[in-house]
Amino acid sequence: MAGMTKILPVPYYVQESPVHCQSTCLRMYAEYLERHKLRSATKAAETPIPEIWKQINTGNARPYKIQNSHANMMWWLETNFPPLKFTKKTTMDPDGALYWVIRSIDAGFPVMASVSHKRVAGHIILLVGYKDYAPDMCVAGADFTPAPAVMVSKIIAHDPYGAFDPSLSSAFWGEKRWHAGMSLAGGGQAGPGRGVELAVENVNRRRTTAARAGNFELMSAGF
């Protein structure tokens, strides 16, 4: 039995500097909402990525006067796209995290994920789809035929810093995040971090020495 696959048409951008992961993901999210969900009176999808960074990290209007606040990221989207309301899901359960991501993607909303691993203490990526998802199934019948093995699900992510996750075994991240990159005629860019496939356990905070190790921290809207 083939697993289910769904990938949202979210444009991709390479982050302009090492600190712009969050604002780059917000720009991707804003452009997707503008094209497929609702218009923004503030033209948020046209806001330069460095300006988004300033608004959520140093701007006077932001509700939390600290940098790298997830609440400020969600506030920026809510402010520019009313009446959407964003929610942050925190769990240490991979199955619960996968269910939440699939539920959000099926509703038509990407998911921002806070991750860490051996290369970074904190990073934001955008989850735009899933691949080969097959929910648990029992096979009915008197012969008790074993159920087919559940397929291994993959999360499809836009990582603005390139193919950055160590599980990808790629050198095209950091200074090489622009490798073979180009602007696309339909909007957005190509690059090695566009549409990478990650196991669900790779979209959480994996660095054991970092704060909140083991957490899945997921932000989305619409339900």
pLDDT tens for 72-115 read 999 999 999 999 999 999 999 999 999 999 999 999 999 999 99
pLDDT digits (tens, 9 = 90+) for 134-173: 876 444 444 434 444 445 689 999 999 999 999 999 999 9
Give kind and range of the element (H or E) at residue 23: helix 21-36
Using CA atoms, how far apart are residues 39 and 96, in angstroms rounded to an integer?
Answer: 32
**Degrees (nearest 5) of the Cα angle 56, 59, 63?**
65
Burial 162-199 (b: 16+ CB within 10 A, else e): bbbbeebebebbeeebebebeeeeeebbbbbbbbbbbe
pLDDT digits (tens, 9 = 90+) for 16-71: 999 999 999 999 999 999 999 988 889 999 999 999 999 999 999 999 999 999 99
Sign of the C-alpha dihedral computed for residues 22, 24, 28 and 30 taken in this order: positive
Bridge partner residues of 198 (DSSP): 155
pTM above 0.85, yes or no: yes
Domains of the chain with CATH codes: 4-221 (3.90.70)
Q: Which residue shows structure tokens 């951008």?
A: 13
